[in-house]
Structure 1
Amino acid sequence: MMMNNVHNVIGGFARFETKIDSLAGRDYVGLGARVLFVVVLLPYYFNSALTKIDGFGLSAGAFAQILPPIAEQYLYDTSAIPFFPWHLIVWTGTIGEFVLPLLIVAGLFTRLAALGMIGFVIVQTVVDVAFHGATLGMLANGLPIELIDQRLLWVSLLAALVFAGGGVVSLDRLARRTAA
């Protein structure tokens, strides 16, 4: 009798798990990851990108944030900084900071945009540590507020988008249905 009850419980749990798996498939993982991105990272990156623009050009702050030694070398005079490679690097980073998050929000080229954002987070972390004096911290030390923990959480959210795609409500899905 007891073995029968255990079997029923296990069987019921297996059916429940199968139902959850069908409901929370890859489509909903992608959608959920995009919603989390909108709530957690979009405001951060959008506000950061706005600090890099001055009218239709780059601000001195853009160079100070992305290439601090170059900004200091030219005394924050953006007109004195050579276009190649410095302006090109800063323009690329600034445009990426605007465009990649918007692509993720729209669910357009989601996997590629998320992969680009992972690269962006890695470069951002290197710049923060190498040029801005941020402390990377240590993994698994019980302090989840350290930079490495924060950035790894961001990357894991973006990695979910790389593997799952934009989800059920995305322009990627619409394009795929239109093409079929």
Structure 2
Amino acid sequence: MHTLIRFYDFVVSLITSIAGTWLLPTLARFTFAATLLIYYWNSAWLKLGDGIFGLFSPSVGAYAQIFPKAMEAVSYDIGQLSWFHWLVVVAGTTAEFVLPALIVLGLFTRLASIGMIGFITVQSLTDLYGHGGIEQPETLGAWFDRFPDSVILDQRLFWISILVILIIKGAGPISLDRILIGTTRQDRL
């Protein structure tokens, strides 16, 4: 049994020394890029209004997606909403473009990951309470059940787990953070 434990320790030590500190953050950023970058950018593109300044004149759909109950209450007339609604829609749309780009580039990765966790939290609450997901058990899902594919609880837990890795480990060696900050200082940030 001692031989088996020593062999196990040897293998784990070997894997740890080979993977070092680069594997987890690099894999987390790759996973984010492969699964969520286009998802968020497509969502942001759909919120843009017409013309070159479409970000500052969001589409009706942007308001309906972010404030579904408020839009229904004003019969989908965005002129009846306040500047607060406009500000939230513009900020949310901007965040959907900027935060994923920062994570994929590895620039201000920890801060961008914290921002994405906040964004995902607000997105999930909007899906649950604004769009009625709380009334649809299959959409909400449940942890510790036999179904791993609920849209809210299961998926978003995986998303946030990837982002927590980036908050703890940083962007990794192939990143703008590493280039701009330097190797030694990066590990302390």
- Within 1, Cα distance between the matches of 2:161 and 2:76? 35
Say which one has the larger Rg.
1
* Cα offsets for 1:63-95 (capped at 9, x unmatched): 001011222233323344221x11111111111
Please tell me whether the aligned partners of residues 29 and 160 of structure 1 are also in contact (alpha carbons under 8 angstroms): yes
Does the residue aligned with 2:75 lie in a helix, a strand or coil? coil
Q: Which runs of 5+ in 2 are unaligned?
A: none
Q: How far does residue 178 in structure 1 lie from its aligned partner after superposition?
A: 8.1
Number of the residue aligned with 2:128 = 129
Select 2:143's aligned residue among 139, 143, 159.
139
Which of 156, 173, 176 pairs up with 1:171?
176
Counterpart in 2 of 1:73?
73
Shift of 1:105: 0.5
TM-score, with length taken from structure 1: 0.89
Q: Percent same amino acid at aligned positions?
A: 43
Match of 2:115 in 1: 116
Aligned pair count reads 174
Q: Which one is further off, 10-19 or 136-145?
A: 10-19
Gaps of 5+ in 1: none
Matches of 1:88 and 1:36, distance apart in 2: 31
CA contact (8 A) 1:59 1:78 kept: no
After superposition, give the CA deviation of every residue in 1:103-145 in whole Å (9 maximum; x if it has no partner).
0010001011011101111111100010111232221111111
Tell me how far 1:179 sits from its aligned partner: 9.2
Please give the secondary structure, in 2, of the residue aligned with 1:86.
helix
| Residues in 2 aligned to 1:179 and 1:70: alpha-carbon distance in whole angstroms | 50
C-alpha displacement of 1:10? 3.6
For residue 162 of structure 2, give the secondary structure of its aligned residue in structure 1.
helix
The equivalent of 2:61 in structure 1 is: 61
Q: Which has the higher contact order (CA 8 A, sep 6+)?
A: 1
- The answer to which of 170-179 and 145-154 deviates more is 170-179
Task: Specify the alignment match of 1:26 in structure 2.
Answer: 21
Q: State the alpha-carbon separation in 1 of the partners of residues 144 and 184 from structure 2.
A: 46
Residue aligning to 2:87: 88
Amino acid across the alignment from 2:72: E
- Of the candidates 125, 150, 155, which is equivalent to residue 150 of structure 1? 155
Q: 1:41 aligns with which of 25, 36, 41?
A: 36
